Amino acid sequence: MRKILFFLFAGSILSAQSTELFSNNWYISKIVSNGQTTPTPVMDIPLSKSDFITVSGGIGSGYAFNSKYFNNCQQEISFIAGTSSFSKISSACTLALYGGNNQLAVNNYDQKHQDFYIVPVTETYAYEIVNNGSDKVLIITKNSNGDKIYYNNTNSFLAAKENLLKETFLISQNPVKESLMIEHVEKGIPLQIFDMTGKLVYFGETSSEKFKIDTQNFTPGQYILILRGMKPLKFIKE
């Protein structure tokens, strides 16, 4: 009888929350920490889905959230009635180190991801789902400091068009002096530029089939240009 009452109670709490949390898969897209925005760095492995799940058995709150980048952070959560928020009951993260390409950027980003969910021990989070047609963005805000993690309901790493995976873009001049000229791309593709230490030095989106990026403030050296769904290219700043 107690177990039946538990599930009836859990169902009533869930009905007051956005069912979209549970009906979508979520893919981490960027982190805002201390006012600084960092897009999700590209890895050699596919980006796993993050998801909200119900936990059967009548033990604990009955709900959990698995947030995944390279490592997985799982929180047992309790929804706060009448609000778009939840509290963390317990949390744990795997602690593996990524050793592939772009490893410094990936591991630094993953550390921010882990800290968001495991520090401090007790925490409450607000959530918001922004709809843009069939696309949805989940924004989770850490109430203690205002840091945020954004998730998309589509995996943009996998959703790139097939022809973009087979072809690459062109850099019209390499080495680069004042501007990096990029050709043969579609508008609106996310891009990132990393230096050879793995530090993110630029991010944005392609603005047209042919466009340029001002590199006058770049330190001379080698850089990696990554357009989502395409093969990375190295260039030299003189």
pLDDT digits 0-9 by tens, 174-216 = 899 899 998 888 888 888 898 887 788 998 888 888 889 999 9
pLDDT digits 0-9 by tens, 126-137 = 999 998 777 899
- Overall domain count for the chain: 2
Q: Does residue 147 lie in a domain region?
A: yes
Q: Does residue 188 lie in a domain region?
A: yes
- Looking at the fold, whether 120 and 227 belong to one and the same domain comes out as no
- Looking at the fold, whether 99 and 198 belong to one and the same domain comes out as no
Where among 152, 185, 214 does a domain terminate? 152
Q: Does residue 212 lie in a domain region?
A: yes
Give the domain CATH number at 117.
Answer: 2.40.128.270
Q: Does residue 29 lie in a domain region?
A: yes
C-alpha 154/C-alpha 25 separation (Å) is: 8
Decide which of 34 and 188 is more confident: 34
CB 157, CB 43: distance < 8 Å: no
- Looking at the fold, whether 81 and 130 belong to one and the same domain comes out as yes
- Looking at the fold, whether 183 and 201 belong to one and the same domain comes out as yes
Please determine, for residue 6, whether its predicted confidence score (pLDDT) is greater than 50. no
Which position has the token pair 């002096």? 177
Edge-to-edge strand list for the sheet holding 135-142: 36-39, 27-33, 148-152, 135-142, 124-132, 85-93, 72-79, 63-68, 51-54
pTM passes above 0.85:
no
What is the extent of the structural domain holding 200? 162-237
Output the pLDDT for position 155.
Answer: 76
- Looking at the fold, whether 32 and 107 belong to one and the same domain comes out as yes
- Looking at the fold, whether 148 and 166 belong to one and the same domain comes out as no
Output the pLDDT for position 217.
Answer: 92
Q: Does residue 9 lie in a domain region?
A: no
Q: Does residue 1 lie in a domain region?
A: no
- Looking at the fold, whether 135 and 171 belong to one and the same domain comes out as no
